Amino acid sequence: MRAGINAMHTAQRIPGHWRQQKQRRGWLRTFLLGIAFLICFLPLAWAILNSLGLRLEDTASPPTLTGALTLDNYGEVGIKEPSFWVEMVTSAAVALVTTFLTISIAFLAAYGLSRSRFRGRRLLVQGFLVLSSLPVMAYVIPLNDLMRRVRLYNTFGGLTLAETAIFVPLALYVVYGYLAGQSREMEEAARLDGATTVQVLWSVVLPTTAAALSATAIIIFVLSWNMYLVPLVITESRVRTLPVAIGDFLTYDRDMDWPTASAGMLTAVLPAIVMVVATHQRSERFSLAPAQENADNLSQS
Partner 1 sequence: MHFVGFDNYASVLADSEFVGAWRNIALFILCSVSAELIIGFGVAYLMRNPFRARGLLRVVLLIPWLVSPIANGLMWHFLLDRNSGLLNFGLAALGLPIQPSPLSSSLALPVAMLTDIWRKWPLVSFLLLPGLISIPTVYWEQATLDGASIVSQIRHIALPRLRPLLLTIALLLVGDTFGTFDSILMLTGGGPGTATITPALYSYQKAFETHDWPLGVTSAWLVVLIVLIVGLCYVLLLRREVD
56 binds partner 1 (CB under 8 A): yes
Binding residue for partner 1 (CB under 8 A) from 92, 129, 146, 201? 129
Contact stretch for partner 1 (CB under 8 A) within 72-80, 108-116, 147-155, 254-262: 254-262
Question: CA–CA distance from 104 to each of 110, 132, 202 (Å)?
Answer: 10, 17, 12
Does 46 sit near partner 1 (CB under 8 A)? yes
Using the rule CB under 8 A, is 249 a contact of partner 1? yes
Binders in 185-214 for partner 1, by CB under 8 A: none
Q: Select from 33, 146, 160, 31 the least CA-distant residue to 90.
A: 160
Cis peptide, bond prior to residue 62, ω within 30 of zero = yes
Is 222 a residue that touches partner 1 (CB under 8 A)?
Answer: yes
- Does the footprint of partner 1 cover residue 58 (CB under 8 A)? yes
33 binds partner 1 (CB under 8 A): yes
Residue 125: other Cβ atoms inside 10 A: 18
Selected binder of partner 1 within 105, 136, 165, 186 (CB under 8 A): 136
**Does residue 234 interact with partner 1 by CB under 8 A?**
no
Interface pick for partner 1 out of 39, 68, 192, 198 (rule CB under 8 A): 39
Best CA proximity match to 93, nearest among 196, 225, 226:
225
Which one of the spans 52-60, 67-75, 153-161, 191-199 is the region binding partner 1 (CB under 8 A)? 52-60
Can you list the alpha helix ranges (DSSP code H) found in 52-83? Answer: 72-80
**Interaction residues for partner 1, span 258-287 (CB under 8 A):** 258, 261-262, 265, 268-269, 272-273, 276-277, 280-281, 283-284, 286-287
DSSP string, 6-60: HHHHHHHH--HHHHHHHHHHHHHHHHHHHHHHHHHHHHHHHHHHHHTT-EEE-SS
Q: Are 198 and 179 in contact (CB under 8 A)?
A: no
Residue choice 8, 32, 89, 211 for contact with partner 1 (CB under 8 A): 32
The bridge status of strand 64-66 relative to strand 55-57 is: antiparallel
Candidate segments 78-86, 110-118, 136-144, 203-211, binder of partner 1 by CB under 8 A = 136-144
- State which of positions 1-30 bind partner 1 (CB under 8 A): 3, 6, 10, 29
Pairs from 48-57 (Cβ < 8 Å, separation ≥ 24): 48/262, 48/266, 50/258, 50/259, 50/262, 51/259, 51/262, 51/263, 51/265, 51/266, 53/259, 55/259
State the number of binding residues for partner 1 (CB under 8 A): 75
Could you tell me the smallest distance in angstroms from the CB atom of residue 50 to partner 1?
Answer: 6
| Cα separation, 194 vs 199, whole angstroms | 10
- Identify which range of 122-130, 148-156, 180-188, 203-211 contacts partner 1 by CB under 8 A: 122-130
Residues, the chain: 301
Residue 62 as a binder of partner 1 (CB under 8 A): the answer is: yes
Q: Which of 36, 68, 69, 79 binds partner 1 (CB under 8 A)?
A: 36
